[in-house]
Amino acid sequence: MYLLDRMPDEVRNCTDTDREMLLTAAACHDLGLVNGRERHHLDSGTIIRADERLREWFSQEQIETIAQAAEDHRASGKSEPRSLYGMLVAEADRVIDGETIIRRTIQFGFNNYPGLDREGHIRRAIDHLREKYGRGGYLKLWIPWSDNAARLSALQDIIADDSAVYRETVRIYESLVRP
């Protein structure tokens, strides 16, 4: 609700956002994780559409909008969310914290590229950070007034500076291998 409440007046006045639909979309957007992460956004939509209890409170059209919001929340999604609900759920689901993002990127490398040496992990992490979070990267923020926009800009400043991103990635890498 925080993002909805912070919406500029000119946007809020043009929208007819149903808070119960938004809360339901937010609560249900990750239900598909029961089947694994790769397709969880699509599986969440399927689960939402099949839920008989939701029919007690929402019309078929509203349920479809809620399902689409879940499907559209994926950070690596290539297309814009189909509704304001999808934009709000996607934005709220983002964790734009430089340290957390770098740590998760390195941990992903540990789990998926165990043969890499220290420098290989650091280089792979930096390449991924640039591809996803760097200026022109594929991560998109849909709500320009969210706090995520400022945090992403700060992270992009670090990523754009070769020595800063290397230094920060090494620092976090070292904290993970030497607890």
Q: What is the pTM of this model?
A: 0.76
Q: What is the pLDDT of residues 91-145, one digit of tens each?
A: 888 889 999 999 999 999 999 999 999 999 999 999 999 999 999 998 888 888 8
- Cα separations (Å) of 150 from 90, 96, 159? 16, 9, 14
Which pLDDT value is given to residue 45?
A: 95
Beta-carbon contacts of residue 119 (< 8 Å; ≥ 6 apart): none
Q: Alpha-carbon Rg of the chain, whole angstroms?
A: 19
pLDDT band at 73 (very low <50, low <70, confident <90, very high): confident
The label of the residue with tokens 């979309």 reads 25
Compute the distance between CA of residue 54 and CA of residue 30 in angstroms, rounded to an integer. 16
Q: What is the pLDDT of residues 136-163, one digit of tens each?
A: 998 888 888 888 999 999 999 999 999 9
Which pLDDT value is given to residue 21?
A: 93
Report angle CA 11, 5, 155 to the nearest 5 degrees.
85
Domain ranges of the chain: 2-93, 98-177
